[in-house]
Amino acid sequence: SQTIHQWPATLVQPVGSPLSLECTVEGTSNPNLYWYRQAAGRGLQLLFYSVGIGQISSEVPQNLSASRPQDRQFILSSKKLLLSDSGFYLCAWSSKLGTSGSLAKNIQYFGAGTRLSVL
Amino acid sequence: GQQVMQIPQYQHVQEGEDFTTYCNSSTTLSNIQWYKQRPGGHPVFLIQLVKSGEVKKQKRLTFQFGEAKKNSSLHITATQTTDVGTYFCAGGGPRAGGYQKVTFGTGTKLQVIP
């Protein structure tokens, strides 16, 4: 079965410090990968998505960057955190469209999330 | 770009009452998905609708996709405290190879009063 791991669960960082959040997927290959941010009580904002190793698409201009060094690893980074970077960060994966089997529906499977507080 | 709005933003109901959330897209969708996020948790997939006018049921939950494939609704009959959470719709947009853009709605937060 497929699983998605995201860590850490909670993070408190000072303004201006760097950030690295990691997400890994097990049990599937060549997934689409996503990073979302959710402000308190708000909706999901897509930050980045990746369709393959080294392929990153950014949805909104921001202080963050993403990398995909391996097929099932997705990393969210920042060189200098801002107060406005606080939020709930969610990693997700989906199968490629056209993939055979029960996972062919472009359903997104989310990790448990990281609650980031920038102080 | 594609925008997906949900109403209401918040809803408080007495346990046993019905609840409905509505999802509206600025563009025609290829499909619509629904997710539930429990308080403190992450979104979990509930269902996907693909066909115009499609209606699907999961126990007390009824999902509908509009004829024009630009709107959808989720109706919960006789709410229970376990229904508490935020419900998101997600609209499937243009497809590029193995990737399809999915835009999440703004969400409806449901509170059930025992």
Q: pLDDT, tens digit, for every residue of A8-26?
A: 999 999 999 999 999 999 9
Quickly state the pLDDT bin for A98 (edges 50, 70, 90).
Answer: low
Of residues B42, B48, B104, nearest to A105 (C-beta): B48
- Residue A84: phi and psi, rounded to 5, are -70, -5
Q: Do A41 and B90 count as a contact with CB atoms less than 8 A apart?
A: no
C-alpha B102/C-alpha A83 separation (Å) is 28
Q: Do A97 and B48 count as a contact with CB atoms less than 8 A apart?
A: no
Average pLDDT of the segment spanning B48-72: 97
Contacts of A101 (CB under 8 A, 6+ apart): none
Average pLDDT of the segment spanning A47-61: 91
Can you tell me whether residue A15 is helix, strand or coil? coil
Per-residue pLDDT at A103 = 46
Cα–Cα distances in Å, from A63 out to A16, A58, A81, B89?
Answer: 11, 11, 7, 27
Q: Do A109 and B45 count as a contact with CB atoms less than 8 A apart?
A: yes
**Total residue length of chain B:** 114
Average pLDDT of the segment spanning B59-78: 97
C-alpha B54/C-alpha B66 separation (Å) is 7
pLDDT at A102 over 50: no
- Closest CA of chain B from A109, distance in Å: 7
Of residues A90, A98, A105, nearest to B98 (C-beta): A98
Of residues B33, B95, B97, nearest to A107 (C-beta): B33
Per-residue pLDDT at A92 = 97
Selection from A41-45, A94-98, A99-103 with the highest mean pLDDT:
A41-45
- Which chain B residues are within 8 Å of A96, Cβ to Cβ? 97-99
Average pLDDT of the segment spanning B92-110: 87
Cβ-Cβ pairs closer than 8 A, A with B, add up to 56
Type of residue at B104: F
Which of the residues B11, B24, B35, B42 would you substitute to probe the A interface, choosing the one with the greatest number of A C-beta atoms within 10 Å?
B42
Q: Are B86 and B94 in contact (CB under 8 A)?
A: no
pLDDT top residue among B99 and B68:
B68
By C-alpha distance, which of B114, B113, B99, B106 is closest to B37?
B106
pLDDT at B72 over 80: yes
C-alpha A1/C-alpha A109 separation (Å) is 12
Q: Are B39 and A40 in contact (CB under 8 A)?
A: no
pLDDT at A101 over 80: no
Per-residue pLDDT at A100 = 55
B22 token code pair: 């509505």
Burial class of residue B56 in the structure, from the number of CB atoms within 10 Å of its CB (0-12 exposed, 13-18 middle, 19+ buried): middle
Q: How far apart are the first and last CA of chain A?
A: 38
Cis status of the peptide bond prior to A8, with omega within 30 of 0: yes
**Total residue length of chain A:** 119
Per-residue pLDDT at B98 = 76
Per-residue pLDDT at B55 = 98
Of residues B35, B48, B99, nearest to A32 (C-beta): B99
The residue in chain B having the minimum alpha-carbon distance to the alpha carbon of residue A45 is B104
Q: Do A113 and B42 count as a contact with CB atoms less than 8 A apart?
A: yes
